Amino acid sequence: MHIHRYEKIWLTLGAMILFAFFVILGLYGFIAGFTPPSHMEIVDAQTVRTTPPFDKPGLYKVGENEYEAVMLGFSFGFSPNELSVPKGATVHFIVTTPDVVHGMFIPNTNVNMMLIPGHVNRYTHTFDKPGEYLILCHEYCGIGHQAMFATLTVTDDVT
């Protein structure tokens, strides 16, 4: 099996680059701790509206400018649908869905999760820039999907 010299160079370089990508992604993931949302906790989606903490969705202060946002994404909206935090706040999103599959995405941030019935998903983000952020559903969930959104306001207040 004859392999052209240029092809050897091309493929060797290509394989090295791909391997480097793989290593970098792994280092970021498992050394620096930047892994995609992969929470393993399960709930009963059909009774989740009466199961703590999702029986009382809302924003809870848990530390110095640090919050837990307990949220439900349902057909077709989010609960709560208006949140407000001071600049620099770290928000731990804890979310699930009582019905079909939804998404939760905040444009211009890395908050991007799937909401799967029966599973709780989590992601943490620090909001350094003030402004009104859009929280939207990015997985088709039915006739009102395009109306499924919430807002998160990051105020100029200093805590």
Partner 1 sequence: MAEHVVAFSSRNQGSDVYDFSRQDRTLISALLMFGYFMIFLGVIAGLLQVLDRVGWFNVMPVVYYQLLTAHGIVLALVFTTYFIVAYTLAGVAKTTGGSLLPAARSFGWASFGVMTAGVITAIVEVVSNRATVLYTFYAPMGASAAFYIGLALLVVGSWLGGIAVFIQYGRWRRAHPGQRSPLFAFMAVATFILWIVATLGVAVEVVFLLIPWALGWTETVNVMLSRALFWYFGHPLVYFWLLPVYIIWYISLPKLIGSHVFSDSLARLAFILLLIFSLPVGFHHELTEPGIAEGWKYLQVGLTLAVVFPSMMTAFAVVGTMEQAGRKKGGKGLLAWMAKLPWGDARFLGMFVAMLAFIPVGATGIINASFQLNQVVHNTLFVVGHFHLAIATTTVLTFFAASFYLIPALTGRVWTANMNRLGIIQVLLWGGGMIIMALSMYINGLLGEPRRTSFTTYMDHPVRETWTTYHVWMSIGGILAFLGGILFLVIVANLFFFGKKAKEKVEFPVADTVEDVQATPAILERWSVWVPVMIGLVLVAYAVPTWQMIAHSPPGMPPIQTW
Q: Give me the residues paired with residue 60 across strands.
A: 68
Stretch that binds partner 1, among 54-62, 64-72, 79-87, 138-146 (CB under 8 A): 138-146
Of positions 89, 91, 113, 152, contacts partner 1 by CB under 8 A: 113
Hey, is 17 helix, strand or coil? helix
Tell me the C-alpha distance between 151 and 82, whole Å.
5
15 alpha-carbon distance from chain centroid: 32
Closest listed residue to residue 101, CA positions, set 91, 116, 111, 89: 116
34 alpha-carbon distance from chain centroid: 12
Strands 102-105 and 112-115 come out as: antiparallel
Of positions 16, 28, 55, 84, contacts partner 1 by CB under 8 A: 28
Here the tokens at position 18 are 């791909």
Q: Give me the residues paired with residue 61 across strands.
A: 67
Q: Which one of 19, 21, 22, 76 is the catalytic residue?
A: 76
Would residue 74 show up in a list of annotated catalytic residues for this protein? yes
Would residue 22 show up in a list of annotated catalytic residues for this protein? no
Here the tokens at position 77 are 């909206």
The yes or no reply on residue 30 touching partner 1 (CB under 8 A) is yes
Tell me the C-alpha distance between 83 and 5, whole Å.
60
Of positions 60, 101, 130, 153, contacts partner 1 by CB under 8 A: 101
Contacts (CB under 8 A) with partner 1, residues 37-76: 37-46, 75-76
C-beta of 75: minimal distance to partner 1 in Å? 5
Q: Interface with partner 1 by CB under 8 A: which residues? A: 1-4, 6-7, 10-11, 14-15, 18-19, 21-22, 25-26, 28-30, 34-46, 75-76, 99-101, 103, 105, 107-108, 110, 112-114, 116-122, 132-134, 136-147, 149, 151
Active site residues: 74, 76
